[in-house]
Amino acid sequence: MSIDLLQKQIIEKKNPTVLGLDPRPEYIPPHILSAHIAEKGETLQAAADAYYTFNCGLIDALADIIPAVKPQSAYYELLGHAGVEALQKTVAYAKSKGLYVIVDGKRNDIGSTAAAYSDAYLGRVTIGDTTFAPFDADSLTVNAYLGSDGIDPFIETCKKFDKSVFALVKTSNPSGGQLQDLLCGDRNLYTAVGDLMARIALDTVGEYGYSCVGIVVGATYPTDARTLRKRLKNSFFLVPGYGAQGGGAADVAPCFDEYGHGAIVNSARAILCAWKQSEAGDGSDYQSAARAEALRMRADIADVVTVL
């Protein structure tokens, strides 16, 4: 199963972290953005091409030490279809460098519409007699509010093409608890969502004990993460909230199992914008600055989690 592919990558690189590729104009080293604007004007296309150049540079600098990347779809959609093309190209480039690619789109719908999302990001579409894999990511984040009707089509695609999804369970933001912490009988809502996601994917558990439906569990609520880790033994955790949102290495430790498996921690801004704190300060050393920060993060997490 596809989550096995991710776990293998993590074990090989002894690094349970994922690079969030969340570009914004102000994160791009000025020389990259201005070169594209000089050529194409102040256009969405110029910004999209600058994102892709930046992403490729980061991937080149980090592909030997990180197992995965997670582009956040919102930032690409913000540039319209040019941005979506940059997302498609980024997925392809990251995969060509051996990285596991999780598109963070939090998609959700029912029946045939959920199947369209699933086919778009993880599967195939056929026009006439010709078949395409439009995004061909390894994984997609999803939102489970619509129940199993909304997730089952993704599981079908995961089985067919060896892919995975991560469903939102306990998010890292301050207001996440307004709904997620509501007590429904003897469980919080987020526990009910986690239980449902675990149950519907049980028949996809792979070599390392994890199913194709992972869950998103924020680093900012370590006590809840510890409880979920014990309860949902077959659910792989995608963990946002490390760094910028306040979570530290000690906070993410409860997300891992006794082998240091079963979780991957996201970092975006600290790595993308490392060049702003570096000696040059002008972005000319963005690759080495990103690498230094990624190595620091790996070491920080290695202090509390040993990947066996």
Q: Which of residues 45-74 bind a copy of itself (CB under 8 A)?
A: 46-47, 72, 74
Shortest distance in whole angstroms from residue 63 CB to a copy of itself: 24
Instruction: List, in order, residues 6 or more apart from 143 with CB less than 8 Å away.
Output: 106, 107, 108, 150, 167, 168
User: For a copy of itself, which residue of 11, 25, 209, 288 counts as binding (CB under 8 A)?
Assistant: 25
From 1-9, 35-43, 227-235, 283-291, span contacting a copy of itself (CB under 8 A): 35-43
Catalytic residue chosen out of the listed positions 106, 160, 233, 276: 106
Give the x-and-dash track for 187-206 against a copy of itself (CB under 8 A). Answer: --x--xx--x----------
Residue 122 φ then ψ, to 5° = -120, -20
Cβ closest to a copy of itself, residue 208 vs residue 242: 242
Shortest distance in whole angstroms from residue 213 CB to a copy of itself: 14
Q: Does the protein bind a copy of itself through residue 179 (CB under 8 A)?
A: yes
Cβ closest to a copy of itself, residue 142 vs residue 305: 142
Instruction: List, in order, residues 6 or more apart from 275 with CB less than 8 Å away.
Output: 29, 281, 282, 283, 284, 285, 286, 289, 290
Q: Does the protein bind a copy of itself through residue 171 (CB under 8 A)?
A: yes
From 61-69, 118-126, 249-257, 286-294, span contacting a copy of itself (CB under 8 A): 118-126
Q: Does the protein bind a copy of itself through residue 302 (CB under 8 A)?
A: no
Burial of 101 (0-12, 13-18, 19+ CB in 10 A): buried
Closest to 237 measured CA to CA, from 221, 245, 246: 221
Residue 212 CA to chain centroid, in angstroms?
14
From 52-60, 76-84, 230-238, 298-306, span contacting a copy of itself (CB under 8 A): 76-84
From 57-65, 80-88, 253-261, 279-287, span contacting a copy of itself (CB under 8 A): 80-88
Residues marked as catalytic: 106
